[in-house]
Amino acid sequence: MNCFVGIDASTTATKALLMSADGEVLGVASSEYSYETPRPMWTEQHPDLWWQATVESIRRVLAESGVSPSEVKGVGLTGQMHGLVLLDDDGQVLRPAILWNDQRTGAECDEIRQRLGKERLIQITGNDALTGFTAPKILWVKNNEPQIFERVRHILLPKDYVRYKLTGEYATDKAGGAGTLLFDLEKRDWSKAVLEALEIDPAWLPPTFEGTAVTGYISPQAAEATGLVAGTPVVGGGGDQSAQAVGVGAVEPGIVALTLGTSGVVFASTNEPFIEPEGRLHAFCHAVPGRWHLMGVMLSAGGSLRWYRDTLAPGVDFDTLLAPVAEVPPGSEGLLYLPYLTGERTPYPDPLARGAFVGLTVRHTRAHLTRAVLEGVAFGLRDSFELMKEVGLADITQVRVSGGGARSPLWRQIMADVLGVELVTVNTTEGAAYGAAVLAATGVGAFSDVDSACAAIIRLTGRTAPGPARAAYQQLYPLYRDLYPALRPSFNAIARVGEQM
């Protein structure tokens, strides 16, 4: 039996998934770890945590599935994007990795815009300078830790450190590279203009590969550590959202992946690079060779519901919390919710944005508040769909929904009504790790291409069409859109007051 391993090195755990050649998940193992917050708004993690968790997860999934290591024919990688891993000339880690959700680099983002010009930056990379990206982190180290910076010889992303430990090779995939703010989006490789403007040595950056390309082979040292067979191919893989899209089959134009997890992601595949002129949508290379994608990111989607439950209904399970919501009419009788609990990225790249309930009256019950949270998240995700239509992606034929929030039939119905499109669920539920395994299988020849792989192993399991509530949400959405511009001055003032207290 031929099998394939997908490894997902996320912020809180590394997962190893074992997939058969016909797409069946034979086993999953996950090893958890924590991250550090040495200062407010900083997040760091030592790369060795990912490697140790990778070793543990691979060994456990092989043992628990009973699959022989010799049956594993390929390994695919995915994981958290945008993080900064710095290595010296000997491949040793110079400092803890600075993660995607670290917010320390506001001044460096301004510096990048000044050096390149915001419009030119967006036209080259597809993105504005945001604190989460890799490039401003590099400048932060240069500006604040010169003794570290002078020793830098290699720059990697988190999953690519795992690749280095598995193969001894320095490499990255084009989807991950596009998320660094150092990529020429159209050329699908490092941008000479950006590197020169930021004075970053191109020799520090690894070569880039398509998601299905073989980037190296399991080394004897990694084979001894993980139990895999030395010489097993390791393919490029992709950033977590690109791999997630492969995992649900959102690989062709017209099919959109909607991930309703702690954050909310709207992911649309394209045959050519599309750029939102103001950088309000992320434009990256896809893990699928020769394709790109647009992506809108809401920071507190399922996270909004979890915060609401934990704060206002502690100890109540989600099924019990949502049960009475069906009795509340669409629009929650005039109650609106802004889901900006941790700032926002799409459509407002504003770390000072705040959450809010607007329209509260004595008539509103806990069920009204709960429904307002579900609706507010749906309105926020619609913002990404509207931006995609503005740049020319009008032909959205299907939305494939996944993530913890998608398990709720009620929330799926609200989403379908607010978005005005049919939502479908699929048979695969392991997301990015599954997508990484699909890329590995394709890369070693089990499938002719990613489209064929997804067509063969991913099936639709359910449909949710827009219902009568669609009309009510069409009237409410403009009111929702008016709230952030009206409240932004207050959000900024509240942040200033908070800093002074």
**What HEC string does 257-281 produce?**
EEEECCCEEEEEEECCCCCCCCCCC
Q: Are 270 and 346 in the same domain? A: yes
467 belongs to a structural domain: no
Decide if 141 contacts 96 (C-beta within 8 A): no
SS3 231: coil
Q: What is the mean pLDDT of residues 394-409?
A: 87
Q: Are 221 and 299 in the same domain? A: no
Query: Which of 237, 272, 300 is where one domain is finished?
Result: 237
430 belongs to a structural domain: no
CA 345 to chain CA centroid, Å, is 12
Q: Are 333 and 223 in the same domain? A: no
Q: Are 125 and 161 in the same domain? A: yes
d(CA 135, CA 143): 13
Q: Which long-range contacts (CB under 8 A, 24 or more apart) does 405-413 make?
A: 405/260, 405/261, 405/264, 405/301, 405/302, 405/305, 405/377, 406/258, 406/260, 408/318, 408/322, 409/464, 410/322, 410/325, 410/326, 410/374, 411/260, 411/322, 411/374, 411/378, 412/464, 413/464, 413/467, 413/469
b/e per residue, 162-174, with b = 16+ CB within 10 A? bbbbbbeebbbbb
Residue 270: CATH number of its domain: 3.30.420.40
Q: Which pLDDT does position 501 carry in this prediction?
A: 61
Q: Are 277 and 317 in the same domain? A: yes
Query: Which of 203, 237, 271 is where one domain is finished?
Result: 237
Q: Which pLDDT does position 249 carry in this prediction?
A: 94
458 belongs to a structural domain: no
Q: How many domains are contained in the chain?
A: 2
Query: Position of tokens 């913890």?
Result: 404
Mean pLDDT of the chain: 94
Query: Which of 237, 258, 291 is where one domain is finished?
Result: 237
pLDDT digits (tens, 9 = 90+) for 92-112: 999 999 998 888 999 999 999
Tell me which residues are annotated as active site: 240
pLDDT digits (tens, 9 = 90+) for 155-172: 999 999 999 999 999 999
- Is this model's pTM higher than 0.85 or not? yes
pLDDT digits (tens, 9 = 90+) for 169-185: 999 999 999 999 999 99
The domain in which residue 231 lies consists of 3-237
Q: Which pLDDT does position 500 carry in this prediction?
A: 65
Q: Are 233 and 259 in the same domain? A: no
Q: Are 277 and 205 in the same domain? A: no
Q: Are 142 and 272 in the same domain? A: no
Q: Which strand ranges, in their side-by-side order, compose the sheet holding 292-298?
A: 282-285, 292-298, 264-270, 255-260, 398-402, 423-426, 460-464
Side chain identity at residue 393, one-letter code: L
